[in-house]
């Protein structure tokens, strides 16, 4: 009788151990394609207001953040299971190849060159190169920038494209950050700032700038923002595409656009269809 009690207790402990092992989940933090792990790592920008911004309190905000959070939930992860990882433009392909993140939502334009290295879900936003000017500015076309001062960041091709294709007499001013360009635009040191309209809208929507700037509404290029996934991970691409379609159909996409870009009076394009790349 005593032996049977010990054996029963041991069996119970053994069964409990098996249950714990089965329910323990994967704590590797890679956000496996089946979803529901302990954590999922997602790549975003940390320094783009309205898109991907790390707040002073450590929280994150922006359209890309909202899209990624929605997608993660559809993959089986709640907001508190997301680990945000800063992925700068130059390191996005490497971060995916190394497995540092499960996917990247960071103003990541889909291009033929990039598709050689990563797979893309989406697109989830069609942006365009545009100009940001002071409210009431008489600059309404790119050609109006002749003999005007145009600001962009060092390394960006946006300002060079304007000078080459539209306003050869534009005076280029290149600085380290878009925030510096905004300060120069506010003070009158420059007449316009150029990059993607989504990025411009995000900066202009900040509390300290509300009502001070406006987008010219030009479409100087097409930028199809996609969600980057490790090359060959077709399962995750398909799941993200399904999540994006649901986000559009239940109006969450529209709400995210308004929440993040609305104060800048951003005239966004309708939500693009999955796989529809506008050249």
- How far apart CA 26 and CA 60 sit, in angstroms, is 25
- Work out the burial of residue 130: count CB atoms within 10 Å of its CB; fewer than 13 is exposed, 13-18 middle, 19 or more buried: buried
- Report yes or no: 223 and 129 within 8 Å, Cβ to Cβ: yes
Question: Is residue 109 domain-shared with residue 134, that is, in the same domain?
Answer: no
Each residue of 136-156: pLDDT tens digit? 999 999 999 999 999 998 877
Each residue of 14-62: pLDDT tens digit? 343 434 334 433 434 444 444 556 999 999 999 999 999 999 999 999 9
- Report yes or no: 60 and 53 within 8 Å, Cβ to Cβ: yes
- The answer to the question of residue 273 being in a domain is no
- CATH number assigned to the domain comprising residue 180: 3.40.190.10
What's the domain count of the chain? 2
Question: In the structure encoding, which two tokens stand for residue 84, read together?
Answer: 């945000």
Give the global pTM: 0.82
CB atoms within 10 A of CB 80: 6
- How far apart CA 240 and CA 254 sit, in angstroms, is 17
Question: Is residue 205 domain-shared with residue 249, that is, in the same domain?
Answer: no
- How far apart CA 272 and CA 261 sit, in angstroms, is 17
- The answer to the question of residue 141 being in a domain is yes
- Report yes or no: 102 and 178 within 8 Å, Cβ to Cβ: no
Segments forming the whole domain that contains residue 192:
129-215
Angle between helices 197-204 and 178-187 (to 10 degrees): 60
Question: Is residue 44 domain-shared with residue 177, that is, in the same domain?
Answer: no
């Amino acid at each position: 009788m005593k032996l049977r009690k010990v054996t029963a207790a041991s069996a119970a402990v053994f069964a409990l151990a098996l249950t714990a092992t089965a329910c323990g989940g994967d704590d590797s933090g890679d956000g496996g394609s089946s979803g529901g792990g302990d954590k999922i790592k997602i790549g975003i920008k940390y320094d783009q207001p309205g898109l991907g911004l790390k707040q002073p309190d450590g929280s994150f905000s922006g359209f890309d953040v909202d899209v990624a959070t929605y997608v993660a939930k559809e993959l089986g992860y709640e907001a508190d299971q997301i680990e945000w990882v800063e992925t700068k433009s130059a390191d996005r392909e490497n971060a995916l190849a190394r497995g540092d993140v499960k996917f990247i939502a960071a103003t990541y334009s889909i291009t033929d060159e990039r598709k050689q290295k990563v797979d893309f879900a989406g697109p989830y936003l069609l942006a365009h190169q545009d100009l940001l000017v002071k409210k009431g500015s008489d600059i309404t076309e790119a050609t109006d920038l002749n003999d005007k001062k145009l600001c962009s960041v060092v390394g960006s091709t946006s300002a060079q494209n304007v000078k080459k294709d539209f306003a050869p007499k534009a005076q280029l001013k290149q600085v380290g950050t878009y925030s510096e360009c905004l300060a120069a635009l506010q003070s009158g040191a420059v007449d316009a700032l150029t990059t993607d309209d989504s990025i411009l809208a995000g900066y202009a929507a900040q509390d300290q700038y509300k009502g001070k700037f406006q987008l010219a509404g030009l479409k100087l290029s097409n930028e199809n923002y996609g969600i980057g996934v490790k090359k060959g991970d077709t399962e995750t691409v398909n799941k993200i595409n399904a999540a994006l379609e649901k986000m559009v159909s239940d109006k969450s996409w529209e709400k995210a656009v308004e929440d993040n870009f609305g104060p800048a009076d951003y005239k966004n394009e309708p939500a693009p269809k999955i796989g529809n790349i506008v050249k």
